[in-house]
Chain A
Amino acid sequence: MERVAVLHPSSIIAELKRNNFTHVVWLPDSETNFMYHQLTADPDVTLVPVCREGETMAIAAGLWVGGKKPVALIQNTGIFESGDSIRGLGLDVNQPLVMLVGYRGWDKHGITTDSAARFIEHILHAWGINYYLVETDEHAPRISMAAEEAERTSKPVAVLIGTEFGA
């Protein structure tokens, strides 16, 4: 069965601009790859590519200290790799970081067999990190909700991108 694109890059990028994000610190993944070309072409947002996701929160911390407003864009597998950075440079220092997280393996219509999907929400719960799920253009305003919550609580907040379609 052909799957229909329901989440478009323009919806997410519009949310990033609405919230005045200045930098997207990211490691490419299949769930969020569809945004790459638009992000690189957008003069209002600077893309900071990393080699491994643990760098992401640290670079974001530096940008934040310097007065910028970064957002992290990684896959759920990268959240597992980033544990020490999220703990030490997110939670411990009250960084109001929004983390857009590709939800690899998640399937609301079937059985989720991918451990990256099965564990991610448990891990976020364990850290006390709240999260929102975005699957369609209609859900995109949840990014604004996450941004507001991150600022209000001075904590990282995650947005799980539950689709890899939509180019």
Chain B
Amino acid sequence: MIKNVDAVRIIDEHRGEAVIVTTMGAGNQSFGLPAVTHRQELDLPVAGAMGKASSVALGLALAVPDRKVFVLDGDGSLVMNLGTLTTISNMAPENLYHFVFENGVYAVTGGQPIPAAGKLSFQGMAMEAGYAASFEFDDTEELATNIDSVLKEKGPVLVCLRTAPEIENTPVQFREKTSRTMRMAIEEVSTAVRA
């Protein structure tokens, strides 16, 4: 199993000029994006619509085809928006890299299992949907060793990361919030990618 922060750190180290779009849990202060990455002006946390980070990333990838776009998705988020696999496959953005953090649970709501946890294969579904390539890693060292070659593939690429659940069980209104709102992130990322 891979720890969330280790996976994000490895992805961030190899991002170059890539925009990183993240799903809900990735905005968590203790184990998510703000604690790890070093190019905040290119980080776009999507907190506003459940499961839609990959759709935002698709739109951005289509808008800026010369820049890589990474989406850090959750398995619970992806199964809420499973049609995104075929929508992405159909548009076939070569610059889109879809990382799915598969921990088998809804980590931000207390750890309830997602439907078909342990039965489904995101790597398999991506390939059957028509992604250009897909990978699966359950070991931090293996991810670190192979990420360069993963990012040399033309997208859309799905990378399934088997991660250890890190359960959040505090009601949303009581959680520590980042000082950088989504509107601020949109403004910063928008400026950066248009420069």
Contacts and interface: CB of A to CB of B under 8 A. Distances in A.
A67 B81 contact: no
B12 to A, nearest CB: 20
A61 B83 contact: no
B48 A92 contact: yes
A94 B90 CA distance: 28
A45 interface: no
Interface residues of B, number: 33
Nearest to A66: B63
A65 B87 contact: no
A88 B58 contact: no
B30 to A, nearest CB: 23
Which of A50, A65, A89 is packed against the most chain B CB atoms within 10 Å? A65
Which of B55, B84, B86, B183 is packed against the most chain A CB atoms within 10 Å? B55
Nearest to B21: A62
Contact of B56 (A49, A52, A61, A92): A61
Contacts of B164: none
A49 B61 CA distance: 15
Contacts of B83: 50-52, 55
Contacts of A50: 55, 83, 87
B50 to A, nearest CB: 6
A89 B91 contact: no
Given A54-B49, A59-B58, A85-B52, A65 B86 contact: no
B113 interface: no
A61 B86 contact: no
Interface of B: 21, 44, 46-50, 52-53, 55-64, 81, 83-84, 86-87, 90-91, 182-183, 186, 189-190, 193-194
Interface of A: 23, 25, 46, 48-52, 54-55, 57-68, 70, 84-85, 87-89, 92-94
